[in-house]
Chain A
Amino acid sequence: MTINKVANGKDLIISLAGRLDTTTAPQLDDELKGSLDGVEKLEFDFTKLEYISSAGLRVLLSAQKTMNKQGSMVIKNVSEEINEIFEVTGFVDILTIE
């Protein structure tokens, strides 16, 4: 998985490519821990994300909890397959998917 970050003031856009799974989720978790301070608008771009498992969902939930306290979080360009996982888990109601 590759993580691409673009910060602009209090906005942060994170684009993910590849697979967000048990082996790669800790990488994103570490990245978020070091970059959410002072961020008020977090945007994920999933255009190139191919796969997500519960390990990835846990990181997203954790990020959502953080952003609920300090701003907002949106996820853009979610594929049909990944959206299906969000639906099954009720994450469609927790996350803001555009």
Chain B
Amino acid sequence: MKKRVLAVLMSVAMTAALLAGCGTTATSETAATDTETKAKEKTEAAKEETTDTAAASDTYKVGMTFNLGNLTWAELTEEAKTYGASKGMEITVQNSNDDATTQVSQIENFIQSGMNAIIVAAVESNAVEDVCKKAQDAGIKVIAYTQVIENSDASYLVDAYNTGYACGERAAKWINENYPDQEIEWALEDLPKYPEIIDRANGIKEAIEKLAPKAKLVATQPAEVMADGQANAENFMQSNPDIKVICSIGSGGGAGANEGIKSYLTEDQYDSFGIFGIDATEQEILNIINGDPQKSSVSLGGGAVHGDCLIDMAYNFWQKIDQEAEQYMPITVIDSSNAQEYYDEHFAK
């Protein structure tokens, strides 16, 4: 009896949870049940596009698949949802969890649920090519983010080498100002498991090599999240206590190294050490404003700006507005001279 009551209770709870979770998307669920017909209609509609179709559509559905474990991307999707809604678009975000198989399934589901556009931050660009082709065949616009996808209609890309170069250039400038004509040691936090990131590391290395030739790269370790950056900084200082600069290909490594180095230095020594990151997250910018060892970070516009830009690209498809197929993120170095201004513009609530 007890078990039966438990079973009934659990069934009720499960149904309630499902209803609560799915209630808001009931219309799209209904649409999904009739997928084949809808997909066919969509294809035809896409093929017979006329100038007035945009005005005729009431809403435009956009699916986004991103790894939400990435801070910048989490910020991006939040902004995209808000900005998209303000433009009359319906935005659905799925967490790819950094898994290519999951991402392919999510795109398949987007096709089934009748999206008008799909924005893909590809875990692995080759893995999503086929499913993106299917989306295009169904009349769906595919927008690639950060990585080039062969079967896409537009791309919002990062110039990885020049981003890294900007980081390295700022680091070299700091080295020349603080340790002129001295042979100093520096360390690099890279992330070679992501091919698109490798060029960032190359850019950093080549900039420092060229602009501060006396600086010697003595250690390299990968950093993806803050914990990696923090442990790396501790290990760098242990293996090479004379290191004066750490450059990182991302914000996790930069902000993590900042926390790690602080346990090695007293506050009056913060000016003698430089950490240079990329991504310009709120935490990194506050580190710069507070006079921490972190001296700069390279902004690629920031998650919110990217969110707006991607939604604008989808909106242009909806409204049949011409746009460039490849657009690039802006590269701006944020240091003590413009950190406050950047903070006020991007993060002040």
Q: Do A and B come from one complex?
A: no
